[in-house]
Structure 1
Amino acid sequence: MAKKHVIYKKDNWNMLTVEARGRELVLREISDQWGEDCHTFLSRPELMEWVSKRFPKSDFEGNEAEWEEIIAAFKAI
């Protein structure tokens, strides 16, 4: 059985979820600008590498708390 983790959900059009299916991690990012984007990772280190590129801390200057929440949510998977 897959376990779904909500990383963030701002509304029905802006959210990011990760579904853990055994070793496989399926990430779905839904954005009102880009639609739905889906990525499949075979390990947590591979997922975290993607996270570090997708959510660089420099993009959250002045809003470090939001960045820390996002990173903590990924680490909890």
Structure 2
Amino acid sequence: MARGHQKKLSQIRFQDKQEKLKKQQGHHVNDQKKAAQKALAYVCVVCRSQMPDPKTYKQHFQNKHPKFELPPELKDV
């Protein structure tokens, strides 16, 4: 077991390494979240769910909200 000065140096190195890893992961995760939000371009008018494309939106609307009339943006899809 390390004692004294060696222990302090080991703790500082470990802490620096953890901070570096955290910074790398933080930017990566945020970039992924932003890209995912941009990909979800369509929002359901009934439940406010987000969909990536009109085909998926139309399927969602027909399956989840059959009592409602299809929105005008989905009629030609």
**TM-score, normalised via structure 1 length:** 0.24
Higher share of residues assigned strand:
1
Question: Which protein shows a greater Rg?
Answer: 2
**TM-score, normalised via structure 2 length:** 0.24
Higher relative contact order (CA 8 A, sep 6+): 1
